[in-house]
Amino acid sequence: MARFDPYGDPPLAARIALGALLLVAAVATAGAFAADPEAAAPSPVAYDDAVELGLSSEADALMAGSARVPRTQVFYSQLQYVVGYNGVESFAATLDDDRTERQFGYPIAAYVETFDDARPGTTGTGLFESELAGKWTPAGEAVYVVDSEARSPAGETVVPFRERDAAEAFVADHGGRAVDWETVRGRSFDADSAATVRAVAPERWAAADERIAAAERRADRPVSVVVGEDAPTVAAAVAAAPANTTVVVPPGTYEETLTVNESVTIAGDGARIRGDGNGSVITVRAPDVAITGLSIDGSGGQTRDPDAAREGRAGSGGDGGSGGDEVWDTNIQLGYGHGDAGVRAIGAPGLVVDDVTVEANASGLLLREGSHAVVKELRVDGTDEWRDGFMGITGMGSRVTVTDSRFAGGRDGIYLHRADGSVVRNSTFADNRYGTHLMYTGDALIADNAFRNELFGGVTVMTRPSGNAIVGNDVRNSSAGVQASGTRTYVGYNTLVDNELGFSTSSRGSLYERNVVAENGLGARATTVVPSSRIVANDFVGNADHAAAGAGALRIWADGDRGNYWEGANVGVHEPGERAYRPTSPVDAALHREVAAVGVRESPAVALLDRLRGTVPGARLGSIIDPAPAAEPYSPDRVDAALDPNAGRGPNAGRDPNAGRGPNAGAVRADWRAELDEDTETTTMDTRDENATGGSIDPRARPTEPTPAPTAGGVADV
């Protein structure tokens, strides 16, 4: 008897069975579709009902007033959601990528926002603007202005018009040229992507080096006042010191609080400043202040100002807007930014905190109103119960550069809110609620940190910022390793071990690569309803389940012919990498745990089910496929180190200060800066926007594809 080949042409009986299954599936799903796409194209929907891809909505911080990003909405043949692209180029620049066609089917209709009657122009900073919203026009019928002076926060902007005369009028005022749709779809665009973020991550590290060096020079000032010799208290010495000089605080405990109103350095030498349990211990209200070599305790325990939050709620209908997000954002800034701290800085840019220890009842270091700071060798010991304390560092509208520091206990190790461009590196976090927690914060670098025993997560990015790089971190024994929302996020070279969840793919248009995901309960979870990110060259080893997916289209986790390494994927009769791996399939998911699953996988019944899943859209939902699983781990040395029981996984991996040497003892290191500097093409990923789509606008361009019509649109939180 001939052996059944699940990848060859199936025998007649199998084809009959498959046909029957498809007929049943077609009958069962026929009622879900409103129209035959060949008979009538679906009409545009309200954009709020589309699932957004492309530029993040967090760009509204840069798009104040009448500035806009031209939008596109697309109906796909095998996707029940309407996809909205912020930026025409987000859709057009990737039409040759077939990955999205495999996931969504081909586009059966696309509409662009045209601005003929909207009085379009540009702002003083070159952003595209219009006084009125645009109107929806079929993409193939519109006229597009390219190469004009109009920009968006992500780069070049294509401006669509319904009539050529309107496009030519815009060209006359703002430059560029008017072209048709075929010209637009054949162009490449100068727009930021996750590949851009990947390339600049080493530059952000270098920029942090420069900030730290400048801070050290700024803090090095001549001595003017010595406490105990020239002034009786630290507060008196600070008040007496001329600007740009140093106040020396000799060994001892000083029970007082103080306010710094001059640009001075306060340099301790085995000194402790202890507050009286009310308010903040040190308040800084001047630029370029440096605090070094001190231990601080005795702050009050107020974690936020409820009166400030109520005031923000009452006034939310004013300049801050009246929407729910704006109210919440205002209350967080007013409430979280007005608690007690060991060191509180208000409107104090250039702050330097070096070699300081804080025993925190609330926040260790609180920064607000543009108090941009460099923090080096800070240790914050928070409360044992996270609900009783607050943040190691709270940064409200203040960029921070943190290095070689340690945060143990309390609510969040570092909480940053609208602190774009921050860098948190080479530090240790243990026993927090979240280790590093970002809100509305983009263009940040979170790198080479160690996280242990984090109750909710190691690195967590909420709301929808853009351009963050989360690289080289080691997260263990936590609820989750990395959970990052937003867009254009680079998550690479992290080591995620013994967590309930390794990472989630919550960020849209992002790149997840070269992560070692080992011995977690769940290695990775696909969370966005419409997938738009690339997950490639990661190593999944020893997880109870390698990956899971929520509702949504088929996810393809590969980049061309490069997939991920999945322990168990290459067992069986096939050559390594020859057969696709489906971590969400009950059979494939068991291959690394149950030897008997190999026999089931090779059975004709499973092969038929695989064909069914690849053909019928409804059978794809909640599924992941890697069409090119790697034969060997991409980072074998890091995999071995991650599985070493002595590498940060033992009982001393948490808050014990004697557990190894240095803040990152036991963490597995990746030489990611050298690799990214050396070869930016390591992943073979192109630099086009990752919100890839495939196919032609013309539904008759691919007559061999299945053509179920989409619904009239869907609403999803992505």
Residue bearing tokens 């290695």: 523
The per-residue pLDDT for 366 is 96
Residue 167 tokens, joined: 């496009």
Query: For the chain, what is the mean pLDDT?
Result: 80
The confidence band for 574, taking pLDDT boundaries of 50, 70 and 90, is: low
Q: What percent of the chain has pLDDT over 90?
A: 52
Q: What share of the chain is helix, strand, coil (3-state, %, to 5)?
A: 20, 30, 50
Q: Which one has a higher pLDDT value, 128 or 686?
A: 128
Residue pLDDT, tens place only, 11-64: 433 333 334 333 333 333 333 233 344 446 789 999 888 877 765 544 444 445
Residue pLDDT, tens place only, 181-201: 999 988 876 666 788 899 999
Lowest mean pLDDT among 207-216, 406-415, 560-569: 560-569
**Is pLDDT of 700 > 50?**
no
**Is pLDDT of 541 > 70?**
yes
Phi-psi category of 467—alpha, beta or left, where left has phi over 0 and alpha has psi -120 to 50? left
Distances (CA, A) of 215 to 288, 292, 342, 374, 513: 9, 11, 20, 7, 34
Residue 451 tokens, joined: 């996280």
Q: Which one has a higher pLDDT value, 584 or 103?
A: 584
Q: Which of 515, 508, 595 is nearest to 547 (CA)?
A: 515
The per-residue pLDDT for 380 is 97
The per-residue pLDDT for 658 is 38
Residue pLDDT, tens place only, 660-698: 334 455 788 899 999 998 755 443 333 223 322 222 223
The per-residue pLDDT for 487 is 85
**Is pLDDT of 527 > 50?**
yes
The per-residue pLDDT for 358 is 97
Q: What percent of the chain has pLDDT over 70?
A: 75
**Is pLDDT of 718 > 50?**
no
Ordered by start, the domain boundaries in the chain are 32-189, 304-338
Lowest mean pLDDT among 11-25, 126-140, 462-476, 596-610: 11-25
Q: What is the average pLDDT across 165-173? A: 96
CB within 8 Å of 301: residues ≥ 6 apart: 277, 340, 361, 362, 388, 389
The per-residue pLDDT for 708 is 29
**Is pLDDT of 704 > 50?**
no
The confidence band for 481, taking pLDDT boundaries of 50, 70 and 90, is: very high
Q: What is the average pLDDT across 411-431? A: 96
User: What are the start-end ranges of the H helices in 441-488?
Assistant: none
Q: What is the average pLDDT across 410-439? A: 96
The confidence band for 714, taking pLDDT boundaries of 50, 70 and 90, is: very low
Q: Which one has a higher pLDDT value, 33 or 617?
A: 617
